[in-house]
Structure formats: structure tokens, C-alpha cells
Structure 1
Amino acid sequence: MKSPKRFLIFYLSIGSGHLSAANAIKKAIREYGSEYRVFCEDLFTPAIRDSMLPEFLSLSSTLFFPGVYDTAWQSGSMMPGYELLQVMPVLRNRVMEILLHRNPDMVICTHSLPCSIMASLQSDHPDLPPVAAVATDFMVHPYWPIKKVKGFVVACDEARERLIERGGSGDRIRVLGIPIDPAAENLSIRERSDDIKRDTRFSINVLILAGGKRLAPYVATWPKTKNLMDMAMQLPAGRVHWNVVCGIPSAFSRLLTEFMKGREDVTLYEYVTDFMELLSRQDFVITKPGGLILAEAMALGIPAILVSQGSGQEAANSNIILSHRCGVLAESEKEVLAYLQDVLDYPYIAADAKRAALTFGKPSAARQAAAWFLQGMP
């Protein structure tokens, strides 16, 4: 195969991780040369993307039906319904229209649904370009296709082993990490050389992620965030600085702004455009177990305090992070404060967690994935 010049990256606008990974790959490929053309396309039409459907799908996994979702994610029990989605004319036609419009040499998918549709279409259209799959969580579920996928990028060895168990070929799987903004590489170098400027007025700096481009995935964390900020007054004054990212403006961000008036130990942010820079100045991040935020944190050596085990892919993310000792699970506000008090009393706890995060993190994931794609794989 000749070296590809035109790349089409399919994502799905559920949450923000799939698009963020697509943009990271796009940026990394373009850094290799101006001759490369990269197009990111949402499988959802603009009408679907701007409707409440993506928010509902996000909420269904975290609030409405977490148990059902977890079982389906682990076992593949919803495969018949998933296969029906793959053959829906509206989705297949959209994929074909975008392929004709963009005329790519390679298709990269950061979500399993467009990847499955591409694999299905290749059976009927063998002249379609090769497909690469990029997992944006630390484990892969049964809905990722194996056949007709030329290469997989996964986050860790455990995910690679899972794909091989399902029949994937080991020489087509690369453990490169979840693609994040290539800027993470320079920030990681600064972190490893201890060249990051932190707020020295406080003993530790903690970032709380309570929102992003989309709010639905974070709704379940809002009561905990407010309660934690109230209970944080129990910690010794001047020891912890809380940086709360609320995402796009919402009733919650307005409530928290009013609630935090006069608090010198709290800084509130709405949507942050230089999030990686802000994250790099922290000692811990408090978050739900989303794949992208955990990949960003690990790349910068920022241990995670997980406020829930999660379900489906989030439960799998939690298990991986905890097994690599890159974070802790603290499902109540009291547990969060107790852990941070231990960190204040015994600094080696933070040092050990930071070392584990730096060891596990993969700040060059996007660049290495781009290099592999430019070679044409595998």
C-alpha cells in the first residue's frame, strides 16, 4: 500500500472523548507535514448531534440504567440490537456520502459504531480504504469489530490481551495509549523535570472536573462536588487549593459561583481552553472515570481520585487505574477528605501515586499513532 495522504476520522458525539481523540490524531498527523489532509466527521448528522439524543445516551449509562448498561458492555448481550444499528440505511448512507466527499486513503474510527459500519461496508465494497480502530477507554468491549479492521490502537496491555482473546491478531494491535493533545508531551517533560509552576500558597492543588463541552456525563457528580466544597472547610486552612472546572455555563455553575463567594481556597472555571496546562499544575484530579481525562492525567503524572466506580467502560477504566496504583476510589466526600488528610500527613503517598501515574501514562500516544497510520499499518 502506498503511503496515505488523506485521512478520514470518524467519531461519535456522545460525551467528548471520541472527538477529542480524533482532534488529537488530526493535530499529530498534520505536525508530520503540510501535505497531509485530515478530516474529522461525526457519524451523527447535525440534527442528531444538536438534539437531546447524545445527552440522553450519556445519562442512560450513568444515571438511568447503569446496571443494564454495565452488563451489556461487559457481555455483548446487546449485540443483536447493535448489529441492527450497523445496517440502518440512514447511518450506512451517511458513511458512504462522507467517504465519497472526502475520498480518504485511510479511515480511522474513535468509536466502535462507525468502525463496525465501515467493516460491514467493506464486505460489499472491497475497494474501500483500510480501517484503523482507536479505543478511547482503557479496555475494549465486545462491540468493536475484529474482521476487516487493519489495525487497533489500544491504551494498555490488558486491552491488547482482550482483543487477542476475541480473535484479534497481535501484530495488528499497538499499545500506544489513548490519543490526547500532542502538547502533553512537552508538559510531561516539564513534569518529569519538576519544571511546572504550581500555586505555592497551598500544600496541595486539587482539580475537580465537574463539567466539559457536554454536561450530561457529569450531572451525577454535581451533588458530591457541592457537598465536598462545603465539607472541605474541615481541612486545615491554607493546605488545599480547589480548582473546580464546571464546563459550559449551567445552573450548577451559577449555583456554585454563588455558594463559593469569599472562599480563598476555591477557584472556579467554566469551559477551559487550556485545560492541559491547568491540569499540569495540579497534584491530584477528582473526576469520574472517563477514559480521556484519565489518559491526560496519567500522561502528566497527576494521580486520580475517582468519585465513583462507574459502569461499563468507566468501571473498566477504574479497575485499570486502581490496579496500576495511579489513583484511589473515594466514593464519598468523607473518603476524599480523609485521603487528602493522609496525603498532607504523609507526603510519600502523593509521591508514590505520582510516580505510578508517570510510569503508566503515555503522553506521546497521538504522535505514535499518527506515525503508525502514516506507515499504512500494521
Structure 2
Amino acid sequence: MALLLYASYGDGHLQAAKTIRDQLAAQGCRRIQMVDLMGEAHPLLDALSRRFYRSSYRFFPRLYGWLYEATRLAASRSPLARCLHSPGRRRLVQLLREERPDILLHTFPLFPGPPAGSPDRPALTAAIVTDYDLHRRWVHPGIDRYYAPTEEMRAELLAAGVPEERVCVAGIPVRPGFDARLRGLDRSELSRRGFDPELPLVLLIGGGAGVLGGLLPACARLLEARPRLQLALICGRNAAFARKARRRFAGHPGAGRLHVLGYVEELPELMRHAACLVTKPGGLTIAEGLAAGVPLVLFRPVPGQERRNAAYAERMGAAAVARTPDALAEAVLKLLADPVRLKESARRAEALGRPDGAERIAGDLLRQLEGYTGKEWPIRPSCRSRRNPG
């Protein structure tokens, strides 16, 4: 049995857990349980902290960045780290005693679990780092296996004292379909979704309210500057913003080339036909873009992990970073006007992408457990004796 823990601070941790759940099931795991540990253990504290998370992103980004940087290098045994890992501890121990999982997998850095030698400890405790920056909350002696997104982070983990044999570079897990090998193969997919297959497509994905608002003036400038360009503005579940966007562009000369969409299941298909992707620099969204081999323009990175995610993608040549609507439009226009640069950015994105990350992580989790035959979910002798005493 596998117990997958996530948190509801942004969508990336949940999506990573879902993707691994699907891969574990495909590779033979019969029982998988996903748990929002903070949501279950401390629902009021969870709601307040999520509200603070969203508000600080929008209204106090420097405060959020300061808190992130102030805690980023805290050692796992420091009083600060112990405090950060304390929420959810009691509920997790209760879950481990009730469910007796063979694998405990974290996609958010919470209390890792009981220490070695405890009868409640699973056979394998693992963590998937879901950003391109290593916050020391992830580093804990109770983690048996780390899944890092990059070789750079592997080196950081080793420098932080993690034994080399505990680290596997597998990427941030993305859903099937985000794959550069499928890029541009069947442009008729665009026709079926109401797009013009002859026009380049710029895909814009909103993140928070501050980002979404900045996308509208950038869209207006792009439509005016490039008559042969179409835009897909993904508003997610923010129906109010979608209505605002449609009202703003009603009667605009380029309105027919702006597609305002809500939550879309076909994001992998759109991404692999996009000339470039404009998005917030969340770890999972960057991973999806890299896996799809699409050049990135990262908009308004908030201090903290977003700024460090953006710095990584920019440093590796797969992204440009823009902080204002004018700078965003200019970055997209410069990229589209330079086919050589556009192709090189796509090549670098593809080189960094790991479309098979979820499959690799699930397979490695199973291989780490003793006695896995490929036919039955593995249970180590120690786990077996705990489940069937005597």
C-alpha cells in the first residue's frame, strides 16, 4: 500500500501526487491513498495558512520572499525546522498505524514520519522535490529516497549531507502528453479546437490575480503588433476573470484571434502546438513546458521559489523573464521575430524536460522495495510481520 501526502498550497503538489498515483497503479500497486495532511490534521490552520499564502503572493510578495529565504537554509535538526515539521505529526502517525503503508511519499515538505526502528515506520519514505530550488525543509534524515528535478539539485542535496545512494534525478512528474517528441505532429488538432492551424499560437496561463490582470494589456499589444498571431488565454477555474477578458476584447479588431478558455483538459495538446508559453514560474508548470519542448516566457515571479525557478530556467536558456505587461509583450515579440532563437530555446527546453519522470519515479519506488516480483504489491518481511503478527 502507498500513502501519498500533498498540500493545497498551489496546484502543483496535488498534481504531482495524482500523476504518481496513476503511475503506481499502472505498475501494480493495488492500494493507494492520497491525503492532504494539513487539511485533515488542522483544517482551520490549513485554511488560514492557504489564505495567507494567496494574500502574501498578491499583496505582500516581499514578505513571502523574506520568509522563504529566512528559512531556506535551516538545518533539519534546528528548532526552526522542528517547528516547521511539527504540524500534522500526530495525524500522520495515526494514519501510519491504521493503514500500514509500504511506501510513504511526500510531494510537500511536511513531517517525514517516525524515526528508523519505529514499528510505525514504512518500509520506504520518499520525497519528490516539486521546485527547481532546494529549500532545506525537504532535507531530513527520515527520508530514504529523494527524487530531484535536476543534476544541480542532486549536487545541492549531497552538499547538504544526503548520502549519494539516496538521490535519484528523475524530474518533476508531469502527466502523459507533455512530450516534445509529439511536438507539432498533427496541427489538425488545433482545427478541431477552433484554432487556425496556419497561425502561430501563444499560450498564456494565468496564476494569481496579480498575474491575470497583467496578461490583458500584454494580449492587446500582441494582437495589435502581430496580425498573424493567435492567443489562447487559459483562465483556469477563475470564471470572473474569463468574463472580464471577454468583455474587454468585445469589439476589438483582434478578438477573433483571442481564445479565452477556462479549465482545459487538453493542455498537453495545446502546449505541444504553441510557439511559446507564457506562465507563472511554478515548478510543475515549468516542468510541463520543458517536457513539451516549448520556449517559456515567465511572468512576474514572486520572491521565493518562483524567482529561483525562473532564474534556473532563464540560466539554462529555456526561458525569458518579464515583470511588466510591456516587457512580457516585448519578450514574446522578440522571440517570435527570431526563428533561430525560438528554435534554440525549444531545443534547450526539450533537453531539460523529463516527460517520463513519473514513470521513472514509480518504477524506482517499486525497485527500492525488497521482494517486488512485478505481480504483487511488495511487503518487506518487517512489514509483513507487523501486519500479520505470529
Any residues of structure 2 matched to 1:101-250 within 5 Å, and which? Answer: 101-115=98-112, 118=113, 121-122=114-115, 125-129=118-122, 130-184=124-178, 187-191=179-183, 194-195=185-186, 197-198=189-190, 199-201=195-197, 203-211=199-207, 218-237=208-227, 239-250=228-239
**What is the match of residue 260 of structure 1?**
249
**What is the match of residue 100 of structure 1?**
97
Q: Distance in 2 between matches of 1:349 and 1:20?
A: 31
Find the residue that maps to 2:330 and give its secondary structure. helix
Distance 1:303 1:313, change over 3 A: same
**What is the match of residue 279 of structure 1?**
271
Find the residue that maps to 1:375 and give its secondary structure. helix
Structure 1 residue ranges without an equivalent (≥5): 1-5, 212-217
Distance 1:28 1:183, change over 3 A: farther
Q: Distance in 1 between matches of 2:65 and 2:9?
A: 19
Any residues of structure 2 matched to 1:331-346 within 5 Å, and which? Answer: 331-346=323-338
Matched-pair contact (CA < 8 Å) for 2:299–2:322: yes
**What is the match of residue 371 of structure 1?**
363
Distance 1:50 1:152, change over 3 A: closer
2:69 is the counterpart of 1:71: yes
2:298 is the counterpart of 1:298: no
**What is the match of residue 3 of structure 1?**
none
Q: Deviations over 1:21-52 (max 9, x none)?
A: 0001011111113x532211111235449835
**What is the match of residue 27 of structure 1?**
22
User: CA RMSD, aligned part only?
Assistant: 2.4
Structure 2 residue ranges without an equivalent (≥5): 371-390
Distance 1:76 1:240, change over 3 A: farther
2:297 is the counterpart of 1:308: no
**What is the match of residue 383 of structure 2?**
none
Q: Deviations over 1:103-133 (max 9, x none)?
A: 2101010111143xx1xx2258354112101
Deviates more, 1:95-104 or 1:324-333: 95-104
Find the residue that maps to 1:143 and give its secondary structure. helix
- How far did 1:330 drift? 1.9
- In the alignment, residue 131 of structure 2 is paired with which amino acid? D
Distance 1:345 1:276, change over 3 A: closer
**What is the match of residue 352 of structure 1?**
344
Q: Distance in 2 between matches of 1:174 and 1:62?
A: 35
Q: Deviations over 1:111-156 (max 9, x none)?
A: 11143xx1xx225835411210110011211111331211100100
**What is the match of residue 215 of structure 1?**
none
Q: Distance in 1 between matches of 2:147 and 2:355?
A: 14
- Partner residue of 1:41 out of 15, 24, 35: 35
Report the TM-score when normalising by structure 1: 0.86
Find the residue that maps to 1:54 and give its secondary structure. helix
Deviates more, 1:303-312 or 1:48-57: 48-57
Q: Distance in 1 between matches of 2:100 and 2:32?
A: 11
**What is the match of residue 84 of structure 1?**
83
Distance 1:56 1:77, change over 3 A: farther
Matched-pair contact (CA < 8 Å) for 2:223–2:229: no
**What is the match of residue 51 of structure 1?**
47
Matched-pair contact (CA < 8 Å) for 1:69–1:311: no
Q: Deviations over 1:291-327 (max 9, x none)?
A: 0000001001011101124322112211210111111
- How far did 1:249 drift? 3.2
Matched-pair contact (CA < 8 Å) for 2:96–2:120: no
- How far did 1:97 drift? 2.4
Distance 1:99 1:229, change over 3 A: same
Matched-pair contact (CA < 8 Å) for 2:177–2:269: no
Q: Distance in 2 between matches of 1:259 and 1:52?
A: 33
Q: Deviations over 1:317-341 (max 9, x none)?
A: 1121011111111222222222333
Matched-pair contact (CA < 8 Å) for 2:318–2:348: yes
Q: Distance in 1 between matches of 2:137 and 2:268?
A: 31
Report the TM-score when normalising by structure 2: 0.84
Distance 1:299 1:285, change over 3 A: same
Find the residue that maps to 1:152 and give its secondary structure. strand
Matched-pair contact (CA < 8 Å) for 1:284–1:305: yes
**What is the match of residue 214 of structure 1?**
none
Q: Deviations over 1:252-273 (max 9, x none)?
A: 2221121122401110111122
Q: Distance in 2 between matches of 1:182 and 1:133?
A: 21
